[in-house]
A and B are shown apart, each in its own frame.
Chain A
Amino acid sequence: MPLISEIDYGTPASRSEKMVTLTIDGNEITVPEGTSIMRASMEAGIEVPKLCATDMVDAFGSCRLCLVEIEGRNGTPASCTTPVAPGLVVHTQTSRLKQIRKGVMELYISDHPLDCLTCAANGDCELQDMAGAVGLRDVRYGYDGENHVKPRNNGEINARWTPKDESNPYFTYDPSKCIVCSRCVRACEEVQGTFALTIEGRGFDSFVSAGMHENFLESECVSCGACVQACPTATLTEKSVIEIGQPEHSVITTCAYCGVGCNFKAEMRGEELVRMVPWKDGKANHGHSCVKGRFAYGYSTHRERILNPMIREKTSDPWREVTWEEAYAHVVSEFRRIQYQYGRDSIGALTSSRCTNEETYIVQKLVRAGFGNNNVDTCARVCHSPTGYGLGQTFGTSAGTQDFDSVEHTDVIIIIGANPSDAHPVFASRMKKRLREGAKLIVIDPRRTELVSAPHVKAAFHLPLKPGTNVAILTALAHVIVTEGLCDEAFIRERCDWSEFEDWAAFVAEPRHSPEETEAFTGVPAEALRGAARLFATGGNGSIYYGLGVTEHSQGSTAVIAIANLAMVTGNIGRTGVGVNPLRGQNNVQGSCDMGSFPHELPGYRHISDESTRDIYEKMWGVTLNPEPGLRVNNMLDAAVDGSFKALYVQGEDILQSDPDTRHVAAGLSSMECVVVQDLFLNETANYAHVFLPGSTFLEKDGTFTNAERRINRVRRVMTPRNGYADWEVTQNLARAMGLDWNYTHPSEIMDEIAATTPSFALVSYDYLDKVGSIQWPCNEQHPLGSPIMHVDGFVRGKGKFIRTEYVATDEKTGPRFPLLLTTGRILSQYNVGAQTRRTDNVAWHAEDRLEIHPHDAENRGIRDGDWVRLASRAGETTLRALVTDRVAPGVVYTTFHHPGTQANVITTDFADWATSCPEYKVTAVQISPSNGPSEWQVEYDEVARRARRIAGKMEAAE
């Protein structure tokens, strides 16, 4: 395993299909038109010296090192900014060029410290490499003149010198090592799209500045790491590299945070992770990353991680560390006892959307084959289950229709109920790039999210709807499209069921769906809505991206159907640049759904009642499967409170914090007799657990994750599991203790079983993934290379199905007692329940959850920015600090749910989607009042949590 070093071609690839042939140093080479001479030469294997060029950003031509001579042309043009032309004869190394380059390097080095041996970039410094490449042997100017290097010149303070900026927790900025190549500035602009960096001043005074000469932490910087990656010197360096040194080998793996599924090189020294560097060949991220994937992996070695199995009789007892064998034996005897006492259906399991496909698959296999029931569910229940239902009904498969690359070809984007800048940052960067190229944007969100107005991005329309009125808005958009004759009739006639369309068209055309009528309760001005509908229907390739703001409603499934209708009526399905794209919250939500985690579905979305499907598994597993769907997680909790459900195996989930109506979850868990939690940390759910099985991180196991674009990415083990076993091994050992004859020696064997039993995964294997990098399912005989775009030659279900979408207001209504609507979401630096990110330096950005409230609402209640407020709903109350901002509309408040202390889900109610029970997180009627401290529940819960986390024989962890 060597250190993977990726070739830097210097300038981005040209997309042209026209080829051009030229001669470089006597080699004939053919490249696409528009390619730079620098890139063409690198493709021929000749590396032209360069400093300011890198293939992640456009050519700039400032370093003057990459000069070449071209026969028949004057001077020495820069090879990065000079495009190829037919028949050119280029020389990259002549005596004239040598002399110029040496002279340029001499100038660079005359203002650069000569501390190479003790420099953090030693071994990974392009400046050093170039000094070597041009044969620099002497700097005639000396080092005593004006410089940026030394704090003092001859005893005088050197005003040009600036100290290191160490404000960012993950990297340092040392201006004394800067050669002002602008690569960081351009990476921030072109790759990340934040524009947080600039060159301050001019000439010899030039200086890279974050924000307005601010430190990095306080500037607009989002710590994505693109600048650090682009820096050719030690100016921007990971603190981990400064501390540890350069890595010696690397392994390609997949990030375990959001559903974008970025590929990274885990750069290692022995078993120590030095840094995560985004991989340029990663098909989801193309060499870009965000603060979480790039830097926030410290939780894997956090001191609070539990490494030994533990059991206890009662949740009020302290934990007792036991051997793995004791733990398995305890679980098996308890589960057997409970099933004997309360019946076969009294136990169940939850699979994890953060674990691998293989791990998820064997947990559901354990339930169906070992427990003998179908009581398995997953956290997709509480996020994207309506996507599964809605897209399944209309298109025939429950997955996004496009790959992420498709956004490069889109002309009009609708983002509804999603905030990619915070929740899917790498995809947001790609979207912003397309918006800067001229695509138009329509944002449908109660909040003014970052994409509504950001540097070089401005939404054409922002429709700030009242939370809970998605369906009305989407139907009104369809109303405008249908009544103004903007339908794509040819597409509908060819691809969809015409009579269903006619029925639907008549329904949406009813005057009660007009924007003028809906304005009264959606709060969206009719004119803006009409404008948005016209733009989407007539603006070219239209794509829709949506998130949990669509699904987590009582009409979540209806809204997904309405989105599908909108895509079909405008003909925006089945080609690149269009489509319906759910943005998945977790790394493997897509995978956990694919793997049969739902109580009614076997892997590949085949219903449990289907005999032929059951037959496949019954033969393979040697058991008889129950044809009746099992319990959903909310049903399990209800049944637990009723006394008929007694044991639960939870792998890698924290339902107490993430599921709605915390008190109900707590009541359910505490009525169970054996709760088994498998996790990295004693999470909130573990406070109610009887057995704790330590989990392993994504760095410690092999497997696959499936991202939001259905891409199956390999996860590779880079270090030994600190707890001793990968999660799949723990599940397998548990199954074996139950008497199941499982003998997987590697996750690849589990994938082989999946491929053998699931048609849409038929050709997937680890060997194939190693060969092609990653693959988008379906991958079978018909689609051997996978399927970047779905429904290309017609819908999976046959004809696209239009379904009426009647708006029914949620039962969760505002009134005199609860006059405001609370909606919830995420923030960039934290992830989900925060179990991982809270245990990293990401807390520098977001140390607590805040309640966003409009200045008017705040003033009415006498609340100032930063005040503690009491947030109360019908379900419960909590306290947190207010953030007064006009990002939210009057009448709407917003918070995140990353910190367990906040307990935002104490507030959320148990209303849920009619079709899939996906909870209505996004709408809760609340009241806000000033407060001076934590609520009763918070105090009580803190005490419960503190007591529940005691481990016998260990000092209480100081929180």
Chain B
Amino acid sequence: MNVHVAGNDVGTKTLAIVGALKGLEGPLLPILHEIQAEFGYVPQESLPIIAQELNLSRAEVHGVVTFYHDYRDHPAGRHVLKLCRAEACQSMGGDDIAARVKALLGIDFHQTTLDGAVTLEPVYCLGLCSCAPSAMLDGEVHGRLDADLAAELVAEARR
């Protein structure tokens, strides 16, 4: 969902999340997950707060956040559809599926439909090679995609 959050709110919520998780061993990734769950993305202004609380530098936190593609720097659409683009899926016709999905949604990879319903993203291997080509809609995996199944996924995401 496209939610606008006021700056102060990000600060307080970030502090609360960091406070709750900072005792974990290696707390940075869990904190970032929780922040993404809270805001739908990882707001830039939360990074210095995390850095200060964990005795890290801003640079270090920035390095971690940018390393993982799953951490977003802006909110995604209501649904996220990921298409596998790795070798096995490509050899099983993944390219055609991707082209079809793009055409159905009218967007390219890394884009969100104008109504904010769907964000389309490539992913490099879902570990589902035996059921290639595969996709993931809002965290749920789908295998043996064909044109119809793809259209069905798009329709579901559109809803």
Residues of A at under 8 Å CB distance from B?
Answer: 194-202, 209-213, 219-220, 453-458
Contact = CB atoms under 8 A, between A and B. Distances in A.
Interface string B27-67: 00000000000000000100110011001111111110011
17 contacts: A195-B59, A197-B59, A199-B63, A199-B67, A200-B62, A200-B63, A200-B66, A212-B48, A212-B59, A213-B62, A220-B57, A220-B59, A455-B51, A455-B56, A455-B60, A456-B56, A458-B55
Given A209-B66, A219-B58, 18 more contacts: A195-B56, A195-B60, A196-B59, A197-B59, A198-B57, A198-B62, A198-B63, A200-B62, A201-B66, A209-B62, A212-B48, A212-B61, A212-B62, A213-B62, A220-B57, A220-B59, A454-B55, A455-B60
Contact of A219 (B55, B59, B66): B59
Given A200-B66, A201-B67, A202-B67, A210 B59 contact: yes
Interface in B57-81: 57-63, 66-67
A210 B63 CA distance: 10
6 closest Cβ pairs, A-B complex:
A198-B63, A195-B57, A198-B59, A455-B57, A212-B62, A200-B66
A198 B28 CA distance: 16
A457 B55 CA distance: 7
A211 B55 contact: no
A456 B58 contact: no
Contacts of B56: 195, 455-456
A212 B44 contact: yes
A409 to B, nearest CB: 24
A457 B57 CA distance: 11
A485 to B, nearest CB: 34
A670 B48 CA distance: 52
B136 to A, nearest CB: 20
Nearest to A197: B59
Nearest to B69: A202
A905 B81 CA distance: 66
B55 A209 contact: no
Contact of B63 (A209, A219, A220, A458): A209
A198 B60 contact: yes
Contacts, number: 56
Contact of A209 (B44, B47, B51, B59): B59
B22 to A, nearest CB: 12
Give the interface SS of chain B, mostly helix, strand, loop or mixed.
helix
Contacts of A199: 63, 67
Contacts of B51: 455
Contacts of A196: 57, 59
A695 B55 CA distance: 45
Interface of A is mostly: loop
Nearest to B48: A212
A211 B58 contact: yes
B66 A194 contact: no
A194 B51 CA distance: 13
Greatest chain A CB density within 10 A among B52, B55, B56, B61 is at B55
A209 B44 CA distance: 15
A278 B42 CA distance: 40
Nearest to B51: A455
Contacts of A219: 58-59
Contacts of A220: 57-59
Nearest to A193: B57
A455 B56 CA distance: 4
A867 B107 CA distance: 51
B123 to A, nearest CB: 14
Nearest to A457: B55
Contacts of A212: 44, 47-48, 58-59, 61-62
Contacts of B59: 195-198, 209-212, 219-220
Contacts of A457: 55
A196 B66 CA distance: 15
A199 B66 CA distance: 9
Contacts of A455: 51, 55-57, 60
Nearest to B59: A198
Residue of B52, B56, B60 contacting most chain A CB atoms (<10 Å): B60
Contacts of A201: 66-67
B51 to A, nearest CB: 7
Interface centre among B57, B58, B63, B66 (most CB of A within 10 A): B57
A209 B52 CA distance: 18
Interface string B91-121: 0000000000000000000000000000000
Contacts of B60: 195, 198, 455
Nearest to B62: A212
A211 B60 CA distance: 8
A207 to B, nearest CB: 9
A196 B67 CA distance: 17
A182 to B, nearest CB: 11
A201 B71 CA distance: 11
B44 to A, nearest CB: 7
A220 B57 CA distance: 8
A211 B44 CA distance: 12
Nearest to A195: B57
Nearest to A214: B58
A833 B33 CA distance: 49
A453 B58 contact: no
Contacts of B67: 199, 201-202
A202 B65 CA distance: 11
A219 B63 CA distance: 14
A622 B52 CA distance: 65
A454 B60 CA distance: 13
A41 B61 CA distance: 37
A224 to B, nearest CB: 14
A266 B44 CA distance: 42
A566 B58 CA distance: 38
Contacts of B57: 194-196, 198, 211, 220, 455
A577 to B, nearest CB: 24
Contacts of A198: 57, 59-60, 62-63
A428 B60 CA distance: 20
Nearest to B54: A455
A678 B123 CA distance: 71
Nearest to B68: A202
Which of B51, B61, B67 is the most central at the interface, judged by chain A CB atoms within 10 Å of its CB? B67
B55 A453 contact: yes
A453 B56 CA distance: 10
A220 B59 CA distance: 8
